Amino acid sequence: MPIPFSPPSITQKEIDAVTAVLKSGWITTGPKTKEFESRLASYCGAESALCLSSATAGMELVLRLFDIGPGDEVITSPYTFAATANVILHTGATPVFADIQDGDFNLDPRKVEPLINTRTKAVIPVDFAGLPCDYQAFERLASEKQALFNPKKGSLQEKLGRILILSDAAHSFGSVYQGEKTGIHADFTVFSFHAVKNLTTAEGGAVLFNSAADLPAAELYKELRLLSLHGQSKDALAKFQAGNWFYTIENAGYKHNMTDIAAALGLAQLDRYESEILPARKKIFHQYWNCLKNLEQGMLPQEASEWGLTNYHLFPLRLKDPSRRNALISFLAKQEISANVHFIPVNAHPYYEKLGFKAQDTPRAYENFLREISLPIYPGLTEEQIDFVCEKITQFFKT
């Protein structure tokens, strides 16, 4: 039987929840989206959450909200999906890649530090595979480098008064940082609910945040919501109340709202997250660990770091000999086992090379890409299937 990489975990609960919305007479942004927002905020212990069509949309809206654009620099990790860097380009700002550290393979604050200058407006740390970045280290950097910060007059940048820390937490919904759920440790945290992520709405994302400095969360929510839907003063549901037709356009906002169909799916997933989804992933991660721990040719992923605990989003195995990685993927594919690679560094892609970036600029990210293979991990993967994957990996190295 084929073993896919990461099919979504959909039960009758999700099917019933989506069906109820379809039958309700209201399918786009409305009561389910609001409910999902307040459930996400309370799960993470955040003051506010805004649901959107993707994590990409969330990161871009936050950069726009802070007026980040041409002439500005945003520092991020190359060891991520292109979305993280593409949104920086969309705003007209310049991405600057700092290398990752060993251990959790997250953005290294020591590599970020020398890259900070008067043009730096934001840092986007990326939580790889579910292990959170060291957010305290990034917050410390932002305050240590405050003297270099040169904000645009009259913008939210100026109110914040230091570099913005925006967490790309596409992988890390449900992870733990310093004993608390992720979602509150950067200025803004963006989750992805894309189909392969550990909590899904098919496509979707959310931005979580607290009040910061002089910026109350309610105000930030209002501004982000305006930016996410054509700057309309009223949301679609309010506009459709009888007699409530009048609205104004406050800015040239985007079209990034979440539908109630997606939110209903997300609510059903959230109901199952702590009781089913997270424990299922944890169990698989441990089984891989136990059956691969004696594999001489491999290096196994961490479950915890000094400051964080994974949500078991990926099982990123690394091969001591990177030259065998592609052959192993092909060998597994012949057994109908789908593996994946996280990540082709952003600065190794042709478009970014054309812009002048080089994979060699961040050698650790490139090195790790070459030796990495992500094994299937999803609720529903059976113990027999995990044993089969491990057996085939072991067999490959005997050939």
Ligand X SMILES: *Cc1c(COP(=O)(O)O)cnc(C)c1O
- According to the binding rule CB under 6 A, does residue 126 interact with ligand X? yes
Per-residue contact string for residues 193-222; x = within reach of ligand X by CB under 6 A: -x----------x-----------------
Q: How far apart are CA 323 and CA 65, in angstroms?
A: 44
Smallest gap from Cβ 207 to ligand X, in A, equals 11
Q: How many residues bind ligand X (CB under 6 A)?
A: 14
Minimum CB distance to ligand X smaller for 54 or for 362: 54
Residues 31-50 that bind ligand X (CB under 6 A): none
Smallest gap from Cβ 168 to ligand X, in A, equals 5
68 φ, ψ to 5°? -85, 130
Give the interface segment with ligand X, choosing from 76-84, 221-229, 251-259, 323-331 (CB under 6 A).
Answer: 76-84
Identified catalytic residue from 23, 121, 197, 282: 197
Minimum CB distance to ligand X smaller for 157 or for 228: 228
**Token pair for residue 331?**
């060998």
- According to the binding rule CB under 6 A, does residue 81 interact with ligand X? yes
Q: Is 27 helix (H, G, I), strand (E, B) or coil?
A: coil
Question: What's the angle, vertex CA 223, arms to CA 165 and CA 251, rounded to 5?
Answer: 120
Q: How far apart are CA 313 and CA 320, in angstroms?
A: 22
CA distances to 5, 112, 290, 297, 351 from 328, in Å: 15, 34, 20, 12, 28
Closest by CA position to 95, among listed 108, 118, 110, 78: 78
- According to the binding rule CB under 6 A, does residue 55 interact with ligand X? yes
Smallest gap from Cβ 243 to ligand X, in A, equals 37
Pairing of strands 298-299, 315-319: antiparallel
Q: Is 282 a catalytic site residue?
A: no
Residues 142-171 that bind ligand X (CB under 6 A): 168, 170-171
Q: How far apart are CA 388 and CA 3, in angstroms?
A: 10
Minimum CB distance to ligand X smaller for 54 or for 310: 54
Pairing of strands 308-309, 315-319: unpaired
Minimum CB distance to ligand X smaller for 163 or for 199: 199
- According to the binding rule CB under 6 A, does residue 84 interact with ligand X? yes
Per-residue contact string for residues 347-376; x = within reach of ligand X by CB under 6 A: ------------------------------
For the chain, the helix, strand and coil percentages under 3-state DSSP, each to the nearest 5: 45, 15, 40
CB neighbours (10 Å) of residue 98?
23
Per-residue contact string for residues 323-342; x = within reach of ligand X by CB under 6 A: --------------------
Smallest gap from Cβ 61 to ligand X, in A, equals 12
Q: How far apart are CA 53 and CA 70, in angstroms?
A: 25
Catalytic residues: 197
Residues in touch with ligand X (CB under 6 A) = 54-56, 80-81, 83-84, 126, 168, 170-171, 192, 194, 205
